[in-house]
Amino acid sequence: MPCTWVMACAYAPSGCAVACGGLDNKCSVYPLSLDKNENLAAKKKSVAMHTNYLSACSFTNSDMQILTSSGDGTCALWDVESGQLLQSFHGHAADVLCLDLAPSETGNTFVSGGCDKKVNVWDMRSGQCIQSFETHESDINSVRYYPSGDAFASGSDDATCRLYDLRADREVAIYSKESIIFGVSSVDFSLSGRLLFGGYNDYTINVWDVLKGTRVSILFGHENRVSTLRVSPDGTAFCTGSWDHTLRIWA
Amino acid sequence: LSGKMCSSSNSIIQAQKLVDQLQIEAGMERFKISLTAADLVQYCQEHRRSDPLLTGISASSNPFKDKKTCVLL
């Protein structure tokens, strides 16, 4: 990739392409192929163009549209084929660091978190911000919908994870401990939504009981910051990526 | 500061946009947390059994289980 830092990547729903981007301010889509002779770099398609770094990207329900968030404070929806900007989302007062799309059953919304300490919920079709939450005390590094789509969790540099209920329009839980002082870089739910996994900058993973608000477990293994975390689609394991150059799978 | 007149009308426009946005958000229909929280709990309970990280995996189907007991020399 022709840029120093890749900050975001995402699989297309079909598994046939990958989108990525970072300090190049763009999101590019690469078709995947098992043919070793194919020059995949030549088939790269530049889809999104922001005026600052790309912090996150995600395909919508199809391979045809991609949602991006950027250090320029906006999110945007793009048509992959033409590279056309379909919708832009303005409302954050600072860099947008993360986004997550609502589970398909619940409709066309997505949530974004930024350096302005706010989490915004957006209507993808109108570009309108429909809800906003500002309870974190620092940058929000990660947001993730609860499996039912009625709530979402966020992880922040303020060392807390929080759960927000969308229908009640308020924060309902804070997952924190006095002993945890390092920021959360990434959060994800287990399949039932009972467990919340958080990757922290103190190299650990804390596992929270979503309903009780207590910590279930703390996992050690990484030798540097955990920068990303994702539960597998079948829910049997989760994977963490770290500044220690490793990816670890936990089951 | 040059353009001071311009910036004050800009800040009025910005403030108006903020007010409009807040009115949209205020107009949202909210549900009582006692009801919505119950739904979250119910979702967890309904899907408990299909969550392998919660219920664990039986030793026979676990490809990562230890094959031998540890021998301390």
Q: Are residues A82 and A184 in the same domain?
A: no
Check whether A11 has a pLDDT greater than 60: yes
CB-CB contact of A153 with A194 (8 Å): no
Number of structural domains (chain B) is 1
What's the pLDDT score for residue A45? 87
Q: With respect to residue B3, please indicate whether it lies within any of the assigned structural domains.
A: no
Q: What is the CATH number of the domain that holds A243?
A: 2.130.10.10
- Residue where one domain finishes, among candidates A57, A90, A123: A90
- Residue where one domain finishes, among candidates A46, A66, A90: A90
Q: What is the mean pLDDT of chain A?
A: 91
Q: With respect to residue B17, please indicate whether it lies within any of the assigned structural domains.
A: yes
Are residues A211 and B24, on separate chains, in Cβ contact within 8 Å? no
Q: Are residues A55 and A162 in the same domain?
A: no
Tokens of A251: 């089951």
Q: What is the CATH number of the domain that holds B25?
A: 4.10.260
Q: Which is more confident, A140 or B58?
A: A140
Q: Are residues A137 and A240 in the same domain?
A: yes
Average pLDDT over residues A162-184: 95
At which residue do the structure tokens 């209920």 appear?
A165
Q: Which is more confident, A19 or A107?
A: A19
| pLDDT per position as a tens digit, A27-73 | 999 888 777 667 767 778 889 899 999 999 999 988 899 999 999 99
Which residue range forms the structural domain that includes residue B17?
Answer: 10-48
d(CA A178, CA A158): 11
**Which ipTM value was assigned to this complex?**
0.83
Closest residue in B to A194 (Cα) is B44
Residues 51-80 of A with CB under 8 A from B: none
Q: With respect to residue B55, please indicate whether it lies within any of the assigned structural domains.
A: no
Q: Are residues A169 and A215 in the same domain?
A: yes
pTM of the model: 0.88
Q: Are residues A238 and A123 in the same domain?
A: yes
What's the pLDDT score for residue B6? 60
Residues of B in contact with A211 (CB under 8 A): 40-41, 44
What's the pLDDT score for residue B1? 46
Q: Are residues A103 and A53 in the same domain?
A: no
d(CA A64, CA A14): 10
Q: What percent of chain A has pLDDT over 70?
A: 96
Q: With respect to residue B21, please indicate whether it lies within any of the assigned structural domains.
A: yes
Number of structural domains (chain A) is 2
Are residues A235 and B50, on separate chains, in Cβ contact within 8 Å? yes
At which residue do the structure tokens 């107009």 appear?
B27
Q: Which residues of B touch A (CB under 8 A)?
A: 21, 24-25, 28, 30-33, 36-37, 39-41, 43-44, 46-48, 50-54, 57, 64
Q: Are residues A177 and A82 in the same domain?
A: no
Q: Are residues A16 and A44 in the same domain?
A: yes
Are residues A150 and B40, on separate chains, in Cβ contact within 8 Å? yes
Q: CB burial class (10 A; 0-12, 13-18, 19+) of residue A209?
A: middle
What's the pLDDT score for residue A183? 95
Give the residue among A218, A241, A189 at the shortest CA–CA distance from A6: A241
- Look at residue A18 and give its three-state secondary structure: strand
Which residue range forms the structural domain that includes residue A9?
Answer: 1-90
Q: Are residues A22 and A139 in the same domain?
A: no
For the beta sheet containing A6-11, the strands, ordered from the edge strand earlier in sequence to the opposite edge, are A6-11, A17-22, A26-31, A45-49
Check whether A107 has a pLDDT greater than 80: no
What's the pLDDT score for residue A4? 65
Q: Which residue ranges of chain B lie beneath pLDDT 70? A: 1-7, 59, 65-73
Assign A106 a pLDDT band (cuts: 50, 70, 90).
low
Q: Are residues A96 and A40 in the same domain?
A: no
Q: With respect to residue B72, please indicate whether it lies within any of the assigned structural domains.
A: no
Q: With respect to residue B14, please indicate whether it lies within any of the assigned structural domains.
A: yes
| pLDDT per position as a tens digit, A80-90 | 999 999 999 99
Q: Are residues A128 and A65 in the same domain?
A: no
Helix or strand (DSSP H, E) at B8 = helix B4-26
Q: With respect to residue B29, please indicate whether it lies within any of the assigned structural domains.
A: yes
What's the pLDDT score for residue A218? 94
Average pLDDT over residues A172-188: 95
Degrees (nearest 5) of the Cα angle B60, B66, B69? 115
- Residue where one domain finishes, among candidates A32, A62, A90: A90
Q: Are residues A37 and A99 in the same domain?
A: no
Q: What percent of chain A has pLDDT over 90?
A: 76
Q: Which is more confident, A15 or B8?
A: A15
Q: With respect to residue B34, please indicate whether it lies within any of the assigned structural domains.
A: yes
